Structures are given as structure tokens and as C-alpha cells.
């Protein structure tokens, strides 16, 4: 009854809790762009909420960021950017996301090293990223793993199979090149991270990023 009353009153929907884990794999541009996009969406939702008479329709996202020690070194090296503010220590098991009683709505590991992927597949939970991944699997919550490695060894493929069977979604860092402006790597990466947010059910893929829209643009 209370939720119906709030909905009728036009109250904003509850924020979607998203955790992004970043490991030391190459491909830190993916991490930088998805953080940028999520923070843009957060700012848009905040601006809309503060506008007089504006409908509460923009997605509200509650974001936590976890970087491994190696990611803290590789991220600024590859992107030329400072580390994002508000990072959660990867050794903090008192973090709110470390318990199944408070599992986030989605966990995205981008990019993911083969070492981290192997530890998650083995269920070691030896750091916060692996623990949150374990929580997502046992609670049947979305776990999106974006490996950035090539080629894959048989061990890599078996670990990915294990995680897929356990409920994770393996989404390799293989962006689509049919996006408008495909000669611009930034647009290609942006389309990919929106796709990941859509897979995680955090934010629907914008119409202009969908294939049917692009097929119309291309006249096919």
C-alpha cells in the first residue's frame, strides 16, 4: 500500500545500487568511460529531481567503485586520468556489498584480468571484488564480467564456462563497430559501456545505440 501511495504521488523510484570493480587488465579506457557515463546519469537524475514540477523518471544510480592495487597503477598510466574519487579499499570486508543480506543490484567487473576471473570461478573470496562477485552468484544477482585478454587459453575458457554455469554473464571487451562515427574510438567505447549497463539492467540501451536505429541510418 505504501509503495502504491508513493508511486501515485510521483515519488522517485529507489536508486539502483551498482558496484563497478576494476582490475589491472589493459583496457582501462572501458573503466574510465563507464564511470564517466554513470556519473553523467547520476548528475542528470539529480538535476531532474531538483527541477520544479519535473517528473521523477530519470534513473537514480547509487555507485560504489572498487579498484585492485594493480588497477590503481594501470588506470592513470593508460588513461592519463587521476584515480576516481571515493574508491573503496579492495581489502575492506566491512563494505556494505560484502554480505548477501545487502547485495547490490548489479556488479560489473571491467576490465577483468584472467587471474581475478579464475579466483571468482574457484570461489576464493580473497579480496572484496571476489567476495562481491561471490555474493552476486549466491544471491542470483547480475554479475557482468568484462575480460580483456586475447587469445584465450583452455583454462580461461573453462573458467568462463564455470562462471556462466553459475549465473555470471561473460561480456568480452569486444565493442560493436556498426555505431555511427565508428572511426571515433570514443564513440565505439561509449556504445559498448551503454550495452554493458543495459545487460546489467541498470540503464536501458539508448535508442540511437540500437542496431535497428543504426540500420535505418545506414539505409539497410
> Which of 8-12, 121-125, 156-160, 181-185 has the least mean pLDDT?
8-12
pLDDT at 3: 42
Per-residue pLDDT averaged across 77-102, rounded? 96
For residue 187, is it within any domain?
Answer: yes
- Position 79 pLDDT exceeds 90: yes
**Which of 3 and 96 is assigned the larger pLDDT?**
96
For residue 64, is it within any domain?
Answer: yes
Enumerate residues 6+ apart whose C-beta is below 8 A from 132: 19, 21, 66, 95, 97, 98, 104, 107
For residue 31, is it within any domain?
Answer: yes
Q: How many domains does the chain have?
A: 1
Per-residue pLDDT averaged across 75-83, rounded? 98
For residue 7, is it within any domain?
Answer: no
- The domain in which residue 113 lies consists of 12-218
Instruction: Name the percent of the chain lying above pLDDT 90.
Output: 72
Q: Find the CATH number of the domain harbouring 198.
A: 3.40.50.1950
For residue 5, is it within any domain?
Answer: no
pLDDT at 25: 94
For residue 1, is it within any domain?
Answer: no
pLDDT at 62: 97
pLDDT at 14: 82
pLDDT at 208: 76
Per-residue pLDDT averaged across 58-62, rounded? 86
Q: What does the pLDDT look like over 39-54, one tens digit per residue? A: 999 999 988 766 554 4
- Position 6 pLDDT exceeds 50: no
Cis peptide before 166 (omega within 30 of 0): no
Per-residue pLDDT averaged across 176-190, rounded? 77
pLDDT at 212: 64
- Position 172 pLDDT exceeds 50: yes
Amino acid at each position: 500500500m505504501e509503495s502504491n501511495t508513493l508511486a501515485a504521488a510521483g515519488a522517485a523510484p529507489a536508486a539502483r545500487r551498482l558496484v563497478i570493480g576494476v582490475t589491472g587488465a589493459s583496457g582501462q579506457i572501458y573503466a574510465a568511460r563507464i564511470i564517466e557515463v554513470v556519473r553523467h546519469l547520476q548528475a542528470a537524475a539529480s538535476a531532474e529531481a531538483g527541477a520544479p514540477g519535473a517528473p521523477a523518471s530519470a534513473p537514480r544510480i547509487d555507485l560504489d567503485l572498487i579498484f585492485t592495487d594493480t588497477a590503481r597503477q594501470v588506470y592513470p598510466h593508460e588513461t592519463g586520468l587521476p584515480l576516481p574519487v571515493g574508491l573503496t579499499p579492495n581489502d575492506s570486508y566491512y563494505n556494505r556489498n560484502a554480505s548477501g543480506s545487502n547485495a547490490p543490484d548489479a556488479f560489473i567487473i571491467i576490465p577483468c584480468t584472467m587471474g581475478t576471473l579464475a579466483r571468482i570461478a574457484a570461489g576464493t573470496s580473497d579480496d572484496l571484488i571476489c567476495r562481491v562477485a561471490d555474493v552476486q552468484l549466491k544471491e542470483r544477482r547480475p554479475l557482468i564480467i568484462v575480460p580483456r585478454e586475447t587469445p584465450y587459453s583452455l583454462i580461461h575458457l573453462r573458467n568462463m564456462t564455470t562462471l556462466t554455469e553459475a549465473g555470471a554473464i561473460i561480456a568480452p571487451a569486444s565493442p560493436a563497430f556498426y555505431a555511427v562515427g565508428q572511426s571515433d574510438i570514443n564513440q565505439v567505447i561509449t556504445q559498448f559501456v551503454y550495452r554493458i549497463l543495459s545487460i546489467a539492467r541498470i540503464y536501458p540501451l539508448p535508442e540511437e545505440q540500437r542496431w535497428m536505429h543504426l540500420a535505418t541510418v545506414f539505409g539497410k
